[in-house]
Amino acid sequence: MDDKAYERVLADVGPRLRRLRQERGVTLTALAETTGISVSTLSRLESGGRKATLELLLPLAQAHQVPLDELVGAPEVGDPRVRAVPHRRDHMTYVPLTRQPGGLQAYKMVIEPAPGPPEQRTHEGYEWMYVLSGRLRLLLADRDVELRSGEAAEFDTRLPHWFGPAGDEPVEVLSLFGRQGERMHVRAKPRGRDKED
């Protein structure tokens, strides 16, 4: 890479960082708290007043949960397959099936039965779910629906919702939703059940 190309890559980092932060609805203050980088440094980095360094980009990549090469705009080369790495949280194992930040995200999830009552949550966006195996219980506002293998559901995630196994066996689900789904807030406990076959 020649000097001019190198300078162009560095000049594009700031706007890319600002766009990524704004797409996720994160303030400079919140990002500063997460990364330990001062608000003024983050602001100068986004505006091009400060050059990007590895020391600054590594915590930002971690905070945004994106590969470092996405922050610097490295061109996509080689194998297009997604190297799916399973993650575990509480009683759920999920595998990201998309690599690009923002926009529509795809996940395969295996959800195990969990003790305690379900807690409905809300967040910005729209979700589509397809049951690969098992039975899925979906609480959506005051509705209580059971989906079986081969069935799908879609809903506005601003409605209080919860999903998990309908019985004592795990359920495997394909899920598509926007990145805003990371901002969740606990809502009131679900109301009564009305079974649907």
Where are the alpha helices (H) located in 24-82, listed in sequence order?
28-35, 39-47, 54-64, 68-72
Phi, psi of 142 (to 5 degrees): -100, 10
Please tell me the predicted confidence (pLDDT) of residue 174. Answer: 94
**Spatial contact of 171 and 131, defined as CB atoms under 8 Å apart:** yes
Please tell me the predicted confidence (pLDDT) of residue 180. Answer: 53
Confidence grade of residue 188 (pLDDT, cut at 50, 70, 90): very low
Confidence grade of residue 78 (pLDDT, cut at 50, 70, 90): low
Min mean pLDDT across 39-48, 75-84, 128-137, 154-163 is at: 75-84
pLDDT of 196 higher than 50? no
- Render the burial of 90-108: b for 16+ CB within 10 Å, e for the rest: eebbbebeeeebeeebebb
Selected residue with higher pLDDT from 49 and 137: 137
**Spatial contact of 16 and 71, defined as CB atoms under 8 Å apart:** yes
